[in-house]
Structure 1
């Protein structure tokens, strides 16, 4: 973890330290709730163009740092960069989310190509390098990828879905065939994250947004095992770079996830009660991150202050990073984010 000219507070919990005031950053902190983001998005014209234009992607990443002084910036990109780089057709329909040409057979997996991913991965790495140069010395930089299971659900379904039915059925009916897709995504994710670290990322996060859709035996095969493989390979390459896992919806299996994957940090979703965050991971050598409801950040007011204080009180003395339980939603008032940051830092 190169630290340039400043000590990065965000990294302190991963060194075993307990800061008096926890570091804070927010998932999707660069995005549609900011007017400056919407202006830049309009300039780019297309979401993937924005992701693949280093100058613009770096600017989007920097926008919330300028506004709020978060302790960490997270690379502006998307989890579907990986299937796009592998050769699957990916597009973003305005107001409808991502659309992909579905992959539902081993033959279709065979037409994807890890070698061709290098060109687009290198574009993202260029964004990371720009950010490491332009960020304040004290601000950590988080790189990321989507976890293989979650990325696969989009690749197989052809879009986001409430129940991930096509991927789940393929995994049940032809687990060896589905394993070929997961194995390719593991290899691509390792390469992708390695390039981000070499370009300047201080920390990595693996987003498994749809982990909660699987029963325990399938969870082990499609969530835990691929994440462990990524963590082991990246740690071999970069032993000092912490990795945060975010198995959204994992519930009671989150402790098992931490134990079996070996991640350095665990992102807790909104459904995880603060007292569970405070107590459940005590036996694990792990930093806890989470878990404010993004809709409470929209509502604001006294209830926001009360919940922030409750989380801070329960996590006092712990290796803790303040965050949301999922990403900021577009209707969030920017002034509520400022209020949150001030409250966490004891300034409001």
Structure 2
């Protein structure tokens, strides 16, 4: 595993303020890279790519070879957990993931109480292969989706604009919804622990729809389940750093940090920088938050934003990233310029 002394990324997550922040990008292995598109075409379906260690390891390593990022992130998907719980999962071309909806007690009864680790075995093999190929100084990030975010897909069978089906589910039957969350907590913790044992250095918990919850529901369905995952990971791997990304949580992030015990947080693009500096970065290292659209546009505005973000967060522990995933039509030259500007 990468050591703290080797890795700028791990040093930042350990609370060190660095003259030049480490950088990686969400969805850095993706469609903006021609080498990714070539492997994706050979793999066939998206799940075939996720579950083929040859292909998944290759696309995980591609952005490291091209850009020299300070961390690699495992190529997989947050919905492999419901898949390993027995929910049918497929990807519709041009439309994204689809699952058979779990909207009542009968359907939930068909979902396993624990994940089938055999389903996820190819993912762990991918981790081992990537770890063996990474430079010693490059951190390696594993991840899962947070229970609330994954549950929104499980209930609706697809992504929704307002997460309405999941909200109606927990309003109608909070105990039954809680059973689904329990299975996701147990499965996600087991999944992260297995990734760590296969070789990742850090894990990140993506709660992409955290911002759709009101304050009391945020505590119940975002903070409390994430805390249980953090505790389960720490019980087996106390030295591994855990990053939380409660996207859209904004001013609830300090409560999220206190309630979950994560070691660092990701920042969405829209969050106020002075609030981050005063109320968040004083608690934990932060990661983010360049607008992916600014990266796609490039030019002087990209240069200004990089300078402004570094000025805002450079006096504390900070990892440069985007506020969400890189857009598929982002020019490679803009990513190259971004890396150069961050490291200037």
Q: Could you state the TM-score of these two structures normalised by the residue count of structure 2?
A: 0.98
Corresponding residue of 2:173? 174
Distance 1:6 1:47, change over 3 A: farther
Asked if the contact 2:81/2:115 (under 8 Å) is kept, the reply is no
CA distance in 2, matches of 1:331, 1:239: 39
> Matches of residues 193-208 of structure 1 in structure 2 within 5 Å?
193-208=192-207
| Runs of 4+ in structure 1 over 6 Å off | none
Shift of 1:16: 2.6
Instruction: Say whether the 8 Å CA contact 1:106–1:180 is kept in structure 2.
Output: no
Secondary structure, in 3 states, of the residue corresponding to 1:73?
strand
**Structure 1 residue 4 displacement after superposition:** 6.5
Residue of structure 2 in register with 1:342 after alignment: 340
User: What is the aligned partner in structure 1 of residue 41 from structure 2?
Assistant: 42
Q: Residue 336 and residue 234 in structure 1: after superposition, are their counterparts in 2 closer, same or farther (change >3 A)?
A: same
Q: Is the 8 A contact 1:121 1:195 kept in 2?
A: no
Q: Is the 8 Å Cα contact of residues 106 and 178 (structure 1) preserved in structure 2? A: no
Give the superposition deviation at 1:273. Answer: 2.5
8 Å CA contact retained: 2:114, 2:186: no
Moved more, 268-277 or 25-34: 268-277
Cα distance per residue 1:282-339 (max 9 Å; x no partner): 442x110110000000000000000100010111220000000000011111110010
CA offsets 1:242-298 (integer angstroms, 9 cap, x no match): 0000001101101111111110010000111222222221442x1101100000000
Match of 2:304 among 300, 306, 311: 306
Counterparts of 1:226-305 in structure 2, within 5 Å, are 226-284=225-283, 286-305=284-303
Shift of the 45–186 alpha-carbon distance from structure 1 to 2, 3 Å rule, reads same
Which residue of 2 is the match for residue 323 of structure 1? 321
1:70/1:190 Cα in 2 relative to 1: closer, same or farther (>3 Å)?
A: same
Equivalent residues, number: 344
- CA root-mean-square deviation: 1.3
Answer whether contact 2:6 2:136 (CA < 8 A) is retained. yes
Query: 3-state SS of the aligned residue for 2:188?
Result: helix
Unmatched 5+ stretches in structure 2 = none
> What is the rounded CA distance, in whole Å, between the counterparts of 1:259 and 1:245 in structure 2?
12
Q: 1-side partners of 2:230 and 2:113: how far apart? A: 19
Instruction: Structure 1: state its 5+ residue gaps.
Output: none
Q: Is 1:244–1:264's contact at 8 Å kept on the other side of the alignment?
A: yes
**Aligned-partner SS, 1:124:** helix
Partner of 2:221: 222
TM-score by length of 1: 0.97
Alignment CA distance shift 1:16-1:251 (3 Å): closer
Instruction: State the match for 1:130 in structure 2.
Output: 129
The answer to whether the 8 A contact 2:18-2:314 is kept is no
Query: Distance in 2 between the 1:118 and 1:80 partners?
Result: 14
- Per-residue Cα deviation, 1:163-218 (whole angstroms, up to 9, x for no partner): 11110001111000000000000000000000000000000000000011110011
Does structure 2 conserve the Cα–Cα contact (< 8 Å) formed by 1:122 and 1:195?
no
The Cα shift of 1:6 comes to 7.2
